[in-house]
Structure 1
């Protein structure tokens, strides 16, 4: 099995590429220099802290502690997804429930089928992978929904005036929002192996696992991501579209 080691010198040399990105931003006046610097700082600090936390959790190997960590991941993911929602009437409970159901159901099936074991070193990384992709899908759905409600405001009002229900008046918007949220994961599944060698497969190959065996794990990952993002986009969108209306079925999102 191949040993992979990243020393401090390697990190310093790779960091020069980040400096190149910051230099380009500065030269072209993109206004991203501070964002890149902050992203680098947060990446280093957050990963170091999480590394020590995970080391402790893995050593303790407690079920409730593992579930608590999963809930922390889901809460943070739902918070980020909620921030991407331009609707002033948004509620964080909705993306949290969407991520909880989609991640929990997918994770449950993986454990029940024996694909993974319910141990911290497997449950927590998989939960993070599911939550991050579901978060992105929900965020895209929210942005798409707000744009569509803004662009099609008059059409929605006309449908309501003709007696259509809130759901019927929003049906096309709802479908397009869900489609937008799911599309990146679907596109990724179409090109996996041909354009990219994703994280799970690359990690196993780095660890010395036969690529043919690594493929099976990557197929499992793509299936679970498709499942989680689809469920999250659907659940979050069905919750969210109602926040664009008052209790009297009047359009209100400004």
Structure 2
């Protein structure tokens, strides 16, 4: 199967008409989103262009330490973004970093040991980005859910503390619901993969001319990988951070 995929500058200009449509809808419906659309698109173009040249250089050098450094930068950026969703809570960045680092390295380590991917830049960097970004979203959802539930269940938690419960016992339901909220989008996505959506890796391999059956094997691997990363990352992040909602005297610090 030959690879006939070509993206010219003219193709990009034509594709940009979709952005103009979005801006037109925002203006007509008075949504006030046209400035955000323009800013986000311009930012995406700049970021992707820079990343493209950086990856080209990293792939050309083919140095394992440079590859690991770039992977670490991806994890740090993902940790920072999930930390922002935690209301910039004390030590929130550390909790996010530990969770994303552990979930990403564990998952990718299994893939490397199994021979599914090789420890080279062309494979390690994209997979790291895929795993870390999904862990980031899941952990961000977990943090947001936890903050909301502590606000909503302030009275129940205080009552349990007054009856002698520990922070873990008073937070058990909140912890469980936060982890469930974080994992649910990945689970829902796994249910519809192939029927509703042809995900990125599978579509990319097919575009590149790979046998669809072979591409499906890689996509199944990705499903396993994302479920592993999001579940492990969510559990680590929540169990590390829930205790920060309590003082040393087991008083609930309600987030505002």
Superposition TM-score, scaled by structure 2 size? 0.97
- 1:86 positional shift: 2.8
Q: Deviations over 1:114-173 (max 9, x none)?
A: 000000000000000000100000010011111111000000000000000000000000
**Partner residue, 1:72:** 73
Give the Cα separation in 2 of the matches to 1:164 and 1:71: 39
1:16 partnered with 2:12: no
Contact persistence 1:89–1:244 (CA under 8 A)? no
What displacement does 1:90 show? 5.3
**Is the contact between residue 98 and residue 236 of structure 1 (CA under 8 Å) also seen in structure 2?**
yes
Q: Is the 8 A contact 2:187 2:227 kept in 1?
A: yes
For 2:107, the equivalent position in structure 1 comes to: 106
Aligned to 2:222: 221
Q: Which runs of 5+ in 1 are unaligned?
A: none
Describe how 1:88-127 pairs up with structure 2 within 5 A: 88-89=89-90, 91-127=92-128
Q: Could you tell me whether the CA contact under 8 Å between 1:137 and 1:229 is conserved in 2?
A: yes
> 5 Å matches for 1:1-254?
1-86=2-87, 88-89=89-90, 91-252=92-253, 253-254=255-256
Deviation at 1:213, TM superposition (A): 1.1
CA distance in 2, matches of 1:115, 1:87: 37
The Cα offsets for residues 40-76 of structure 1, whole Å up to 9 and x where unpaired, read as 0111000110111111111111111011000100000
d(CA) in 2 for partners of 1:73, 1:110: 18
Task: State how far apart, in whole Å, the 1-side matches of 2:194 and 2:92 are.
Answer: 38
Which consecutive unaligned segments of at least 5 residues does structure 2 have?
none
Moved more, 154-163 or 1-10: 1-10
Q: C-alpha distance in 1, partners of 2:31/2:153?
A: 32
Which 4+ stretches in 1 moved above 6 angstroms?
A: none
Tell me the distance in 1 between the aligned counterparts of 2:239 and 2:34: 38
Give how far 1:89 is off: 3.7
**How far 1:3 sits from its partner (Å)?**
2.2
RMSD: 1.0
Partners of 1:79 and 1:92 within 8 A in 2: yes
1:87, distance to aligned residue in structure 2 (A): 6.0
